[in-house]
Amino acid sequence: MPDSTTEALPAPGAPDGGACAQARGQQIALVDDDRNILTTVSIALQAEGFATRLYSDGETALKALLDNPPDLAVFDIKMPNMDGMELLRRLREQSALPVIFLTSKDDESDEEAGLELGADDYIAKPFSLRLLIARIRAILRRAEPLAAGDTPAAPDDSQTASLVRGRLFMDPARHHVTWADQPVSLTVTEFLILEALAIRPGVIKSRNQLMDAAYPDDVFVDDRTVDSHIKRMRRKFRVVDPAFDAIDTLYGAGYSFTDG
C-alpha cells in the first residue's frame, strides 16, 4: 500500500511524482489507497494520452485538487482517514471539478450518496477499464465548453446564448447560473440536466431524455442517477430560496421546469 503521506505518487514510468506527460493531454487525478488500482488505471489512461496524478489519501488529494485542479478526478469511496465521501463533500464547498466515484458493486447507498454529494458519475467495482475511460471521455467532452479561457472558433449561438426563465438565468458559455440574482453553483451534469428542463418550460422530460442530455455519448447510467442529481439541485436552489419549487416531479413520467 502506498505511503499515505506522499503528496503525489509517481505515475508508472514517470520521473517526477506523477506529473508525467503534462504536454500529452488532459490531466486525470486518481485517488485510491490501493496501489494496484492506481498503477493499473494510470497505465491505461497514459496509453490513451492522458496525464495522471496519483494520490493515496484524501487529505493530500484535497489540497492538491484545490491548489492545482486537474481536468477530472476519480475517487475511491472507501479510504482510511478521509474517505471519498468526505473528500467530495469538502471539494464541492470550493470547486465544481468533474468527479467520478468508484463504488462497491453491492452497495447502492454509496452510489446514491455520492451522486447527491455532487459526483458527476460512478462506476461499480470490479470495473472495466474501457468503461472507465469511456466515462472519463464523455464527461470531459461535456465539460470542454465550460473550461476557463475556452473560446470556440465559431460558436453556435443556439448553444451559447444565455437562457432566462423567470427567476432563472443560465449562461452556458460561462457555466454561470443565478436564481433571483443569487449565484447557484452547479456541476457540469447538473447544469446540463437543468438546461434540458429549462429550454422548454412546462414540458415533461423523461429520465431517459434527461440522461441523453447529460450523457450524450451512449454511456449507460440508471434512473436513480438523474433522480439524485435533481435532489441535489433542489437543495442548492433552496439555499438561496427556501421556497424554490420550479422543478416538478411527475411520478412515472419524469420532470419539468416551471417558474411563473
pLDDT at 187 over 70: yes
* Residue 215 confidence (pLDDT): 67
* Residue 157 confidence (pLDDT): 41
CA distances from 16 to 76, 202, 211 (A): 24, 54, 39
* Residue 119 confidence (pLDDT): 83
**Identity of the residue numbered 135:** R
pLDDT at 230 over 80: yes
* Residue 110 confidence (pLDDT): 66
2-6, 25-29, 89-93, 220-224: segment of lowest average pLDDT? 2-6
* Residue 221 confidence (pLDDT): 55
Domains of the chain: 27-146 (3.40.50.2300), 157-257 (1.10.10.10)
Higher pLDDT, residue 219 or 202: 202
Where are the strands (E) in 166-210, listed by range?
168-171, 176-179, 182-183
Pairing of strands 254-257, 247-250: antiparallel
Q: For residue range 23-56, list pLDDT tens digits in order.
A: 347 999 999 998 999 999 999 999 999 999 999 9
H-helix segments, 48-107:
58-67, 84-92
200-204, 221-225, 249-253: segment of lowest average pLDDT? 221-225
Residue whose entry in the numeric block shows the C-alpha cell 489507497: 33
Q: For residue range 93-135, list pLDDT tens digits in order.
A: 898 899 998 877 555 666 667 777 778 888 887 788 888 898 8
Contact 66, 95 (CB under 8 A): yes
pLDDT above 90: percentage of residues in the chain = 39
217-226: list long-range contacts, CB under 8 Å, 24+ apart: 217/134, 217/137, 217/138, 217/141, 219/134, 219/135, 219/138, 221/121, 224/108, 224/111, 224/112, 224/115, 225/115, 225/121, 225/122, 226/193, 226/255
In the 8-state DSSP scheme, what is residue 53?
E
- Average pLDDT of every residue of the chain: 79
Angle formed by the axes of helices 188-198 and 129-143, nearest 10°:
60
- Torsion angles phi and psi, residue 61, rounded to 5: -65, -40
**Identity of the residue numbered 205:** K
15-19, 82-86, 207-211, 255-259: segment of lowest average pLDDT? 15-19
pLDDT at 22 over 90: no
Higher pLDDT, residue 227 or 61: 61
